[in-house]
């Protein structure tokens, strides 16, 4: 034993524990992603302390899956089972082959597409085969595993796209990293390392750090849908994946532009037999034809593919001028009407539902709109357990000049709220690039108070009166609250305030979503913190 370790042993146990806790708490992925693993090799005491932290969140790709199997999945029984209890989250990255400059402006050939599908399929099968041997999590004892899947090629950030999020050394791997290290500092380092500030690369359309044009073929390559390849020998007997009861949350984040096809998502959802939460973030397809194909397949996923165990569903479809230069993000995108209606029917058993830009609130509430509601004597099926509902509405964007449409939307939402007896939060919002408009209903059970509030940075004077006591919107919401909460008429509190932030500071829809009451809490429903 070294002199240093001998002195360590002299310290009181309480002091040693305090020191170890400080060391563990000070760790971030950006500072040194391997440092904490080394601490566990110092001595047996340090191993038992640091191993739960080291195995809490595992990040790896298919090239290291055998190490994962050896140390956690299929290793020595006692040690492997102990480490399995430490694992709370797995971020699995399917890494595809590099591609060169001469092909970066071209779509993949059929041969390359087939090779990528084979790589993806073998990686997913191998991971699920390992996890299928893990025991089912008992909810009363501990939460199940969160599985985060992403698909990328290291070349994705080396050609036309130089997106920081696609860099293999992207430092934000855990939620704590987001708050421990300012992202702009890491991005500044990234720009310096890549020489982006003064980049001149005519082949990739870069001039003095500015990109001028991205060919459609490059955009199609980056957002290619990835599907399982069922012609592999592993699928000879059945086109099903191993069942994995240990996973209770599946996350597909927008960090990676490669899309996982809806039919493959459906297979994954079938595999996770105890799934409680599903978060799917993706990108608007670069062409209308690709988007229509996606919507058609997504309808099937939503209507037939959601597990009966699912309670939390978070959907987000983003767009930007790089991938979708023909549209203005979050303004003229019109989600498919049928998809909104499908989601309304499929969400009856959910507790939390957030859907941003993939459906529109007016379509979700179609059965409750005064002008479109079906004339039937049979009441709609209720959302018995829904307590959080967050939806985007195209008509709420200030640049749409559709202020006259606010009352019908709020009336439909108010009628629907009568069939949501446990509702504590409903947010209808839109925003991006200088604007935000948010209507939010909240119920506080401890005080028995209900609030309907508007937050916006424009249109405030012209629309705030629709919430006034005695207005149709106020009366509709009051009647719903009387039915669901027993709240007397007149006790619903309403109001409006102006967002105290310059329009120039609201650069994205994500920033816009933070300006509601309880903004960060709501934002976590809309988008994963790391995204």
pLDDT per residue over 53-65, tens digit each? 888 999 999 999 9
pLDDT at residue 413 in the model: 97
**What is the distance between the alpha carbons of residues 357 and 327, in angstroms, rounded to a whole number?**
14
- Dihedral, CA atoms, 524, 527, 530, 531, nearest 10 degrees? -170
More confident residue, 329 or 512: 512
pLDDT at 23 over 90: no
Which of 495, 502, 499 lies closest to 513, judged by CA?
A: 499
* pLDDT score recorded for residue 268: 97
Q: What is the pLDDT of residues 44-93, one digit of tens each?
A: 888 888 888 888 999 999 999 999 998 887 655 677 888 898 999 999 99
Name the residue with higher pLDDT: 194 or 60: 60
Q: Quote the pLDDT of residue 4.
A: 61
**pLDDT single digits (tens) 430-439:** 876 667 788 9
Q: 230-262: per-residue pLDDT in tens? A: 888 777 667 789 999 999 999 999 989 999 999
Instruction: Tell me how far apart the alpha carbons of residues 530 and 177 are, in angstroms, rounded to a whole number.
Output: 8
Nearest in space to 84 (alpha carbons), one of 150, 133, 37: 133
- Choose among 384, 414, 413, 386: nearest CA to 478: 414
How far is Cα 179 from Cα 162, in angstroms, rounded to an integer?
24
Higher pLDDT pick, 147 / 529? 147
pLDDT at residue 194 greater than cutoff 80:
no
Predicted local distance difference test score (pLDDT) of residue 143: 83
Largest CA distance in the chain: 84
> How far from each other are the two terminal CA atoms of the chain, in whole angstroms?
46
Q: Residue 501 pLDDT more than 70?
A: no
Instruction: Indicate whether 310 pLDDT > 80.
Output: yes
The rounded Cα 15 to chain-centroid distance in angstroms is 40
Best CA proximity match to 516, nearest among 448, 428, 399: 428
Lowest-pLDDT choice from 136-140, 153-157, 479-483: 136-140
Residue 479, Ramachandran bin (φ over 0: left; ψ between -120 and 50: alpha; else beta): alpha
Is a pLDDT exceeding 90 seen at residue 392?
A: yes
pLDDT band per the 50, 70, 90 thresholds, residue 496: confident
More confident residue, 112 or 214: 112
Among 162-166, 217-221, 300-304, the range of highest mean pLDDT: 300-304
- Angle of the 44-54 helix axis to the 77-86 helix axis, nearest 10: 50
pLDDT of 330 over the 50 cut: no
In a 3-state reduction of DSSP, which class is residue 47?
Answer: helix
Question: Residue 369: its pLDDT value, please?
Answer: 79
* Residue in 214, 207, 250 with CA at minimum distance from that of residue 92: 250
Q: Which of 353, 418, 419 is nearest to 383 (CA)?
A: 419
- pTM for the model stands at 0.89
| Residue 175 pLDDT | 66
Residues in a beta bridge with 439: 428, 454
Report angle CA 364, 329, 311 to the nearest 5 degrees: 35
Does residue 196 carry a pLDDT above 90? no
Instruction: Give the range among 177-181, 182-186, 422-426, 472-476 with minimum mean pLDDT.
Output: 177-181
pLDDT tens-place string over residues 94-152: 999 999 988 888 888 999 999 999 999 999 999 999 999 998 877 666 789 999 999 99
Convert the pLDDT of each residue in 344-362 to its tens digit: 999 999 999 999 999 999 9
């Amino acid at each position: 034993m070294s002199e240093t370790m001998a002195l360590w042993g002299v310290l009181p146990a309480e002091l040693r524990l305090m020191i170890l806790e400080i060391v563990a708490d000070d760790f971030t992925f950006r500072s040194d992603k391997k440092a904490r693993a080394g601490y566990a090799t110092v001595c047996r005491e340090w191993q038992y302390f640091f191993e739960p932290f080291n195995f809490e969140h595992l990040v790896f790709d298919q090239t290291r899956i055998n190490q994962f199997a050896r140390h956690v999945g299929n290793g020595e029984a006692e040690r492997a089972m102990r480490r399995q209890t430490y694992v709370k989250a797995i971020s699995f990255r399917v890494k595809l082959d590099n591609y060169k400059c001469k092909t970066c402006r071209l779509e993949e050939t059929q041969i390359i597409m087939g090779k990528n599908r084979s790589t993806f399929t073998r990686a997913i099968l191998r991971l699920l085969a390992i996890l299928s041997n893990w025991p089912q999590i008992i909810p009363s004892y501990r939460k199940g595993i969160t599985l985060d899947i992403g698909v990328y090629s290291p070349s994705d950030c080396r050609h036309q796209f130089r997106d920081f999020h696609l860099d293999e050394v992207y430092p934000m791997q855990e939620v704590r990293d987001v708050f421990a290290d300012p992202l702009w500092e890491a991005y500044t380092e990234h720009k310096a390392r890549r020489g982006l500030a003064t980049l001149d690369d005519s082949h990739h359309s870069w001039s003095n750090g500015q990109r001028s044009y991205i060919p459609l073929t490059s955009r199609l390559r980056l957002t290619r849908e990835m599907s399982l390849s069922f012609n592999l020998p592993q699928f000879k007997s059945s086109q099903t994946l191993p069942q994995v009861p240990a996973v209770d949350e599946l996350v597909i984040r927008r960090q990676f532009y490669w899309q996982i096809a809806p039919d493959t998502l459906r297979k994954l959802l079938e595999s996770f037999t105890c799934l409680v939460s599903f978060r799917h973030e993706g990108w608007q397809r670069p062409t209308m034809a690709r988007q229509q194909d996606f919507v058609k397949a997504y309808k099937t996923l939503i209507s037939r593919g959601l597990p009966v165990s699912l309670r939390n569903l978070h959907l987000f479809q983003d767009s930007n001028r790089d991938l979708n230069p023909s549209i203005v993000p979050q303004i003229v995108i019109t989600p498919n009407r049928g998809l909104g209606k499908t989601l309304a029917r499929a969400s009856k058993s959910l507790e939390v539902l957030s859907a941003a830009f993939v459906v529109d609130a007016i379509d979700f509430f179609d059965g409750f709109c005064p002008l479109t509601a079906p004339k039937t004597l049979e009441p709609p099926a209720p959302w018995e357990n829904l307590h959080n509902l967050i939806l985007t509405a195209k008509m709420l964007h200030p640049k749409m000049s559709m202020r006259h449409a606010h009352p019908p939307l709020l009336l439909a939402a108010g009628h629907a709220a009568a069939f949501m007896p446990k509702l504590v939060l409903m947010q209808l919002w839109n925003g991006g690039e200088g604007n935000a408009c948010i209507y939010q209903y909240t119920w506080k059970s401890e005080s028995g108070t209900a609030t309907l509030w508007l937050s916006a940075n424009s249109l405030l004077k012209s629309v705030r009166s629709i919430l006034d006591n005695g207005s149709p919107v106020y009366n509709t919401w009051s009647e719903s609250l009387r039915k669901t909460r027993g709240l007397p008429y007149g006790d619903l509190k309403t109001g409006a305030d102006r967002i105290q932030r310059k329009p120039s500071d609201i650069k994205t829809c994500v920033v816009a979503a933070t300006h509601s009451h309880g903004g960060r809490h709501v934002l976590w429903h809309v988008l994963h913190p790391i995204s």
